[in-house]
């Protein structure tokens, strides 16, 4: 009976020690959907000179260029305004012009850094957007793809560093020909890469434009409301 009692005490001690060790272990940290949503939103928003800025530029440039099949080239540096919510600086290259009377194209690449409330990053970017609707109707339509690759240092969620890519595919972004304001559109956004803890991740978001430069972003069944101006996520 005494031996049995001693064995029971030893077993309890072993369980307690094992439990303490488990608590002291560093957990394996994965990227979260909230972090993915923030990366997507900042990659799109005009406040970060993101994809929506290229959409606006493509339509605006199509109003000024003459109908030529040869693409124009330009290189320039852009920086955020003093006191902006998101600070950034990029070196940008644009190539643009009419491929034919019905199709205007803006191709671009860029590199630089940005610092937003939720994430700061060092990135390279590229994309190709096509504007149609010139021969009739009340709207222009923008379709195409944009991408960013780099290191994203998160200030929310697990607050880890992530190296990866963001790919956005835009479908029928419709802009009014009179006001040049965006009225509708959808996009699929894929964020993938690896965290600083060695974990791989991949998230796919579905964006539906809801007006006034806001959109509903759905990732893994979770719905976020994002601003395409400031990149905020709710």
pLDDT at 65: 62
**By the 8 A CB rule, do 146 and 173 touch?**
no
* Prediction pTM value: 0.85
Contacts of 190 (CB under 8 A, 6+ apart): 165, 166, 167, 202, 203, 204, 205
What are the φ and ψ backbone dihedral angles of 62, each rounded to 5 degrees?
A: -65, -20
**pLDDT for 179-198, tens place per residue?**
999 999 999 999 999 999 89
pLDDT at 158: 87
pLDDT at 72: 79
Contacts of 13 (CB under 8 A, 6+ apart): none
pLDDT at 220: 94
Task: Enter the DSSP assignment of 233.
Answer: B
**pLDDT for 91-131, tens place per residue?**
999 999 999 989 999 999 999 999 999 999 999 999 999 99
Reduced to 3 states, what is the DSSP secondary structure of residue 169?
strand
Judged against a pLDDT cut of 70, whether residue 23 lies above it is answered with no
Judged against a pLDDT cut of 50, whether residue 24 lies above it is answered with no
* % of residues, the chain, pLDDT over 70: 84
**pLDDT for 29-86, tens place per residue?**
467 999 999 999 999 999 999 999 999 999 999 988 665 556 678 899 999 999 999 9
Sign of torsion over alpha carbons 223, 228, 231, 232: negative
The confidence band for 163, taking pLDDT boundaries of 50, 70 and 90, is very high
The confidence band for 6, taking pLDDT boundaries of 50, 70 and 90, is very low
């Amino acid at each position: 009976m005494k031996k049995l009692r001693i064995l029971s005490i030893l077993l309890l001690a072993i369980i307690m020690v094992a439990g303490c060790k488990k608590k002291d272990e560093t957990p394996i940290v994965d990227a979260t959907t909230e972090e993915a949503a923030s990366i997507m939103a900042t990659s799109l928003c005009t406040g970060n000179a993101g994809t929506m800025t290229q959409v606006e530029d493509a339509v605006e440039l199509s109003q000024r260029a003459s109908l030529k099949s040869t693409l124009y080239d330009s290189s320039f540096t852009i920086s955020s305004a003093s006191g902006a919510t998101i600070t950034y600086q990029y070196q940008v290259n644009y190539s643009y012009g009419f491929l034919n009377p019905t199709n205007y194209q803006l191709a671009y690449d860029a590199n630089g850094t940005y610092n937003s409330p939720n994430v700061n990053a060092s990135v390279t970017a590229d994309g190709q957007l096509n504007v149609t609707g010139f021969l009739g109707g009340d709207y222009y339509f923008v379709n195409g793809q944009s991408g960013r690759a780099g290191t994203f240092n998160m200030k929310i969620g697990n607050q880890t560093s992530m190296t990866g890519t963001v790919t956005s595919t835009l479908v029928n972004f419709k802009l009014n020909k009179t006001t040049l304001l965006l009225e509708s559109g959808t996009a699929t956004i894929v964020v993938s890469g690896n965290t600083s803890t060695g974990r791989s991740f991949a998230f796919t978001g579905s964006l539906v434009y809801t007006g006034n430069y806001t959109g509903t972003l759905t990732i893994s069944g979770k719905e976020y409301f994002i601003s395409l101006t400031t990149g905020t996520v709710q």
